[in-house]
């Protein structure tokens, strides 16, 4: 018989969702452990662009949608945590840019002004005066400052995991197995080379794309469905690139900007422009060479004064893992589903991790699950390593 241990909550997945939840639960007094099968943050979280949205991007195509309402309070909650007086301590998380911008690009200035002048969004973004506009955007289109900001997602994962290291264990790939007894489950899993039995009040699946397999293992009667949205992201790096943080609109207002640029640093201490938006969504049907060429053409058209020779270009294929939504579109909010002792969650955006924490705690409270079980699993000897951004 494998040794048996107990705890209040077992979390699967060490991306932003699982790590945020681990910090929230332990702050509330719950005993919780987190199981990761690979690198912390190495799924979507470290490869995200790190934009903490206030939702205006999602209001582009008309009135405020569900997504923009759910997200509007997120920049404030994140800032409170980063300043050290929020629900969890993120004072070690680096902010890459306090500002995020929306730029009309060369051809759509009047449309963007009309949008930001409209009743639904008036006062939510500020027009940037031309003397404050970065040089490479001057003389073309209009620029608005959004309530959004950008964090370094690697430092976020470090800040979330460092204080919790003793509660985070590496499990062997595909080793988890649930044993069902009268509506409750025990978990058999291989931790650091040893098969152990874990007994918890709740098992929370925060494993992104890995949720699908876990849902199958838990044998739920009404399993939630998942969807993936593929992206072909591009990075371009070089010492000569100025830092830029902005959405560039396409030909008009649409659900997704033509290009989303964030700026990061690489191991060679160069600037890395990380390129998403429509470029990455439409790029999934292109080869790496075609996608690189599309990115070059777009950047040359937008920034004709910059020299894009002698830079390093890379393409990166990654899926967004989300709950399934009608017609395969973007889900509006974080999602939680539960059945018996299993809770399945997807934040759908890094930004919405705080909402997901609220949802899980509300569900535990509703089910009468209070902190109380003694955590008998010994502290982890070596927690899983951190993921790295793909350009490193
Ligand atoms: C290219 C890109 C850019 C993005 N940019 C932004 C942005 O700017 N702003 C924003 O708000 N959102 C952004 N997002 C969305 C955001 O990154 C995701 O919604 C968020 O990171 C999901 O976090 P997660 O913890 O659910 O999943 P993940 O980060 O994918 O983590 C899941 C973890 O679970 C682990 N795992 C899988 N199976 C198991 C198992 N059986 N047992 C244990 N562990 C397991 C994986 O190894 C992984 O570490 C972006 C997404 C992508 C792909």
Question: What is the DSSP track for 103-127?
Answer: E--TT-HHHHHHHHHSTTTTTSSEE
Residue 341: both structure tokens together: 């002792």
- By most ligand atoms within 8 Å of CB, the mutation choice from 178, 210, 330 for ligand 1 is 210
Residues 350, 41 contacting (CB under 8 angstroms):
no
**Main-chain phi, psi angles of 355, to 5 degrees:** -65, -40
CA distances from 296 to 239, 266, 288, 291 (A): 17, 20, 12, 9
Residues in the chain: 392
Whether pTM > 0.75 for this model: the answer is: yes
**Main-chain phi, psi angles of 295, to 5 degrees:** -65, -45
Any atom of ligand 1 within 6 Å of the Cβ of 224: no
Q: How far apart are CA 121 and CA 66, in angstroms?
A: 14
Mention every residue, 6+ apart, whose C-beta is less than 8 A from residue 334: 70, 345, 346, 347, 348, 349, 352, 353, 355, 356, 359
Any atom of ligand 1 within 6 Å of the Cβ of 55: no
Any atom of ligand 1 within 6 Å of the Cβ of 67: no
Q: Determine the 3-state secondary structure of 24 from DSSP.
A: helix
User: CATH number of the domain at 4-45+157-225+328-366, out of 3.10.20.340, 3.40.50.2020, 3.50.50.60, 3.40.50.150?
Assistant: 3.50.50.60
Any atom of ligand 1 within 6 Å of the Cβ of 96: no
Question: Ligand 1: which residue has its CA nearest to atom 1?
Answer: 48
Counting from 1 in the atom list of ligand 1, the atom nearest the Cα of 350 is 11
Residues 150, 262 contacting (CB under 8 angstroms):
yes
Counting from 1 in the atom list of ligand 1, the atom nearest the Cα of 16 is 25
3-class SS shares of the chain: helix, strand, coil, % to 5:
30, 30, 40
Residue 170: both structure tokens together: 């590496």
The whole-number pLDDT of residue 116 equals 81
C-alpha neighbours within 13 Å on the C-beta side of residue 47: 20
Fold of 97-149+229-321: D-Amino Acid Oxidase; Chain A, domain 2 (3.30.9)
Residues 46, 154 contacting (CB under 8 angstroms):
yes
Residue 172: both structure tokens together: 């062997």
Question: Ligand 1: which residue has its CA nearest to atom 50?
Answer: 48
CA of 333 to the centre of ligand 1 (A): 15
Any atom of ligand 1 within 6 Å of the Cβ of 36: yes
Q: How far apart are CA 66 and CA 93, in angstroms?
A: 28
Any atom of ligand 1 within 6 Å of the Cβ of 318: yes
Asked whether the CA dihedral 93, 94, 100, 105 is positive or negative, the reply is negative
The whole-number pLDDT of residue 141 equals 87
Any atom of ligand 1 within 6 Å of the Cβ of 14: yes
- By most ligand atoms within 8 Å of CB, the mutation choice from 38, 72, 279, 349 for ligand 1 is 349
CA of 354 to the centre of ligand 1 (A): 14
Q: How far apart are CA 81 and CA 191, in angstroms?
A: 32
Q: Provide the 10 A C-beta neighbour count for residue 202.
A: 23
Q: Provide the 10 A C-beta neighbour count for residue 118.
A: 12
CA of 113 to the centre of ligand 1 (A): 34
CA of 229 to the centre of ligand 1 (A): 12
Residue 282: both structure tokens together: 């439409």
Residue 148: both structure tokens together: 């959004």
Residues 320, 229 contacting (CB under 8 angstroms):
yes
Counting from 1 in the atom list of ligand 1, the atom nearest the Cα of 352 is 11
The whole-number pLDDT of residue 373 equals 78
- Nearest Cα neighbor of 246 from 116, 349, 106, 143 is 143
Residue ranges covered by each domain of the chain: 4-45+157-225+328-366, 97-149+229-321
The whole-number pLDDT of residue 325 equals 81
CA of 192 to the centre of ligand 1 (A): 23
Q: Provide the 10 A C-beta neighbour count for residue 4.
A: 13
Q: List 4's β-bridge partners, or say none.
A: 197
Predicted confidence pLDDT, tens digits, the chain (392 residues): 899 999 999 999 999 999 999 999 999 999 999 999 999 999 999 999 999 998 877 766 655 566 567 788 999 999 999 999 999 999 999 999 999 999 998 776 677 888 787 777 777 889 999 899 988 898 888 999 999 999 999 999 999 999 999 999 999 999 999 999 877 999 999 998 899 999 999 999 999 999 999 999 999 999 999 999 999 999 999 999 999 999 998 776 665 789 999 999 999 999 999 999 999 999 999 999 999 999 999 999 999 999 999 999 999 999 999 999 877 677 878 999 999 999 999 999 999 999 999 999 999 999 999 998 788 888 887 889 999 999 99
Q: How far apart are CA 199 and CA 9, in angstroms?
A: 9
Any atom of ligand 1 within 6 Å of the Cβ of 208: yes
Q: How far apart are CA 202 and CA 341, in angstroms?
A: 5
The whole-number pLDDT of residue 106 equals 79
Q: List 170's β-bridge partners, or say none.
A: 36
Question: Ligand 1: which residue has its CA nearest to atom 41?
Answer: 210
CA of 316 to the centre of ligand 1 (A): 15
Any atom of ligand 1 within 6 Å of the Cβ of 43: yes
Q: How far apart are CA 307 and CA 20, in angstroms?
A: 41
């Amino acid at each position: 018989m494998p040794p048996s241990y107990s705890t209040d909550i077992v979390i699967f997945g060490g991306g932003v969702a699982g790590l945020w939840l681990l910090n929230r639960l332990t702050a509330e007094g719950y005993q919780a452990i987190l199981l990761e099968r690979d690198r912390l943050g190495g799924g979507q979280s470290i490869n995200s662009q790190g934009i903490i949205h206030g939702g205006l991007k999602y209001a582009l195509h008309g009135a405020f949608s569900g997504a923009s309402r759910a997200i509007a309070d997120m920049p404030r909650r994140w800032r409170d945590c980063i300043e050290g007086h929020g629900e969890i301590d993120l004072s070690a998380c680096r902010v890459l840019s306090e500002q995020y911008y929306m730029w009309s690009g060369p051809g759509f200035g009047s449309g963007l002004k009309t949008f930001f002048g409209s009743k639904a969004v008036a006062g939510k973004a500020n027009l940037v005066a031309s003397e404050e506009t970065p040089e490479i955007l001057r003389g073309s289109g209009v620029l608005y400052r959004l309530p959004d900001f950008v964090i370094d997602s690697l430092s976020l994962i470090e800040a979330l995991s460092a204080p919790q290291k003793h509660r985070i264990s590496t499990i062997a790939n595909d080793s988890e197995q649930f044993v069902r007894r009268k509506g409750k489950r025990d978990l058999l899993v291989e931790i650091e080379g040893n098969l152990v039995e874990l007994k918890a009040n709740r098992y929370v699946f925060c494993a992104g794309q890995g949720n699908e397999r876990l849902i199958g293992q838990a044998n739920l009667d009404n399993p939630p469905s998942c969807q993936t949205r593929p992206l072909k992201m591009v990075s371009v790096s070089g010492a000569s690139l100025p830092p830029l943080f902005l959405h560039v609109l396409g030909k008009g207002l649409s659900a997704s900007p033509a290009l989303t640029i964030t700026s990061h640093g690489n191991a060679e201490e160069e600037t890395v422009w990380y390129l998403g938006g429509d470029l990455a969504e439409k790029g999934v049907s292109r080869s790496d060479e075609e996608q690189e060429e599309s990115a070059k053409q777009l950047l040359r058209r937008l920034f004709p004064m910059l020299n894009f020779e002698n830079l390093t270009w890379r393409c990166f294929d990654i899926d967004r893992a989300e709950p399934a939504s009608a017609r395969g579109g973007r889900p509006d909010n974080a999602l939680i589903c539960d059945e018996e002792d299993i809770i399945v969650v997807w934040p759908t955006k890094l930004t919405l991790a705080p909402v997901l924490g609220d949802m899980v705690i509300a569900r535990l409270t509703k089910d009468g699950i209070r902190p109380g079980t003694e955590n008998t699993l010994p502290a982890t000897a070596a927690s899983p390593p951190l993921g790295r951004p793909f350009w490193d």
